[in-house]
């Protein structure tokens, strides 16, 4: 893996984490927060590869 690919992958993970935290911080109630946590757990901000 070359340097550019390593930097892209590192920045991508940081960006996804930041987006998740921003999304959670916008929750207006505990019910909303729990719902948002479930959405994140299901992969709302992170692209997952399809595996069999």
pLDDT for 48 equals: 59
* Start-to-end Cα distance in the chain: 25
Domain residues of the chain, as ranges? 3-41
pLDDT for 26 equals: 95
pLDDT digits over 1-52, tens only?
677 777 767 666 677 788 899 999 999 999 999 999 999 998 887 765 555 4
pTM > 0.85: yes or no? no
Q: Do residues 48 and 18 make contact, with C-beta atoms less than 8 angstroms apart? A: no
pLDDT for 39 equals: 92
């Amino acid at each position: 893996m070359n340097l550019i690919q390593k930097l892209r992958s590192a920045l991508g993970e940081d960006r996804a984490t930041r987006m998740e935290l921003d999304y959670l911080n916008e929750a207006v109630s505990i019910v909303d927060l729990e719902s948002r946590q479930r959405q994140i757990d299901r992969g709302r901000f992170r692209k997952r590869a399809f595996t069999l």
